[in-house]
């Protein structure tokens, strides 16, 4: 029986799922899904990159991540409960990745490599924030540095 979750959950795909079952939702590793209901080893929900396509997928291909819920009922939106800066960097990196590819095609060689360098710095800084092995002082310093990088890119 399909049982609705009291509040939606967020999961991240840790494996690819072809979606080759009835009502299956194909998933790529790294994709984030909002989960609405469950039945045995299966979840039903949608990918956060296309909220209108619903489908089912095995529980074992996703890892549940802590999230915060905005709104209620079916219109509720779950967001990863990461540190705001960590989320901001993810958001910015996705946007930049798009622009960065455009720079490549347009042969803006200098900007292309400059942006790549900053993106790599943001990636590793974000990872350091997430692993939580830094002291408060180091975290504060890193935050300032990352915010400066973000500002650089958004200019």
Partner 1 sequence: MPSVTKDSTILKIAVEMLNAPDKVPQLIEFDQSQPLSSIIQLLCKAWGLPDPTNYALQFSESNNQNYITEKNRNEIKNGSVLRLEQSPAKTVQDILTKINTGTDSEQTQALMKLSTVSSDLTFALEFINKKGLSLIISNIETGKFKGTALKYALVTFVELMDHGIISWDILENQFINKVVSFVSNQTNTQDPKIIQSCLSILENIVLNSSGKNSHVEKEITIPSLISHLENSDRIIQQNAIALINAIFLKADMTKRKTIAATLCSKQVRNKIYENLITNNVSKETSVTELAHQLYVLQTLTLGLLEPRMCQRADSQEQESQEKIKELRKYAFENDANTNIEVTTRRQTGSLSKDFKKLGFKCEIDPIKDFNEIPPGVLALDCMLYFARNYREDYTKIVLRNSCRADELECPFGKTSVELIKLLCEILLIGEAPSEQGQTYHPLFFTHDHPFEELFCICIVLLNKTWKEMRATTEDFVKVLSVVREQITRALAAAPKSFDKFRQRVKELTYNEITHLWQQERTNREVWESHAKPIVELKEKITPEIIDLIQQQRLGVLVGGTRFKKYLKINRKDKFWFVRLSPNHKILHYGECDEKSTPSLEELSTKLAVADIKCVVVGKECPHMKDLKGKISSPHLAFSLILKAAEVPSLDFVAPDEQIFDYWTDGINALLKEKMTSKSFDNDLETLLSMDIKVRLLDAEGIDIPQNPPQIPPEPEDYDFYYENN
Provide the binding-site residues for partner 1, judged by CB under 8 A: 1-4, 12-17, 21-23, 28-32, 36-37, 39-42, 44, 52, 54, 56, 58-61, 63, 65, 74, 80, 90, 93-94, 97, 100-101, 104-107, 116, 119, 123, 126-127, 130-137
**Secondary-structure percent of the chain, ordered helix, strand, coil, rounded to 5:** 45, 30, 25
Q: Name which of 132 and 151 has its Cβ closer to partner 1.
A: 132
Q: How far apart are CA 78 and CA 60, in angstroms?
A: 20
46 near 78, Cβ under 8 Å? no
Q: Name which of 59 and 114 has its Cβ closer to partner 1.
A: 59
Q: Name which of 131 and 151 has its Cβ closer to partner 1.
A: 131
Cα-based torsion angle of the residue sequence 8, 9, 13, 17 in order, rounded to the nearest 10 degrees: -40
Closest distance between partner 1 and the C-beta of residue 148, in Å?
20
Closest distance between partner 1 and the C-beta of residue 155, in Å?
21
Closest distance between partner 1 and the C-beta of residue 151, in Å?
20
Q: Name which of 74 and 155 has its Cβ closer to partner 1.
A: 74
By CB neighbour count within 10 A (0-12 exposed, 13-18 middle, 19+ buried), where does 109 fall? exposed
The number of beta carbons lying within 10 Å of the beta carbon of residue 5 is: 14
Q: Name which of 84 and 132 has its Cβ closer to partner 1.
A: 132
Closest distance between partner 1 and the C-beta of residue 22, in Å?
6
Assign 33 to helix, strand or coil.
strand
């Amino acid at each position: 029986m399909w049982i609705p979750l009291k509040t939606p959950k967020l999961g991240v795909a840790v494996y690819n799922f072809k979606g080759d079952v009835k009502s299956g939702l194909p998933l790529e590793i790294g994709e984030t899904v909002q989960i609405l209901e469950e039945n045995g080893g299966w979840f039903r929900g949608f990918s956060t990159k296309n909220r209108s396509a619903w489908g089912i997928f095995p529980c074992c291909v996703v890892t549940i991540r802590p999230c915060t819920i905005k709104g209620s009922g079916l219109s509720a939106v779950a967001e990863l409960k990461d540190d705001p800066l960590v989320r901001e960097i993810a958001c910015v990196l996705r946007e930049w990745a798009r622009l960065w590819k455009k720079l490549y095609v347009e042969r803006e060689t200098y900007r292309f490599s400059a942006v790549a360098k900053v993106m790599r710095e943001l990636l590793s800084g974000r990872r350091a924030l997430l692993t939580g092995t830094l002291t408060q002082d180091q975290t504060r310093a890193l935050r300032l540095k990352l915010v400066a990088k973000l500002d650089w890119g958004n200019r």
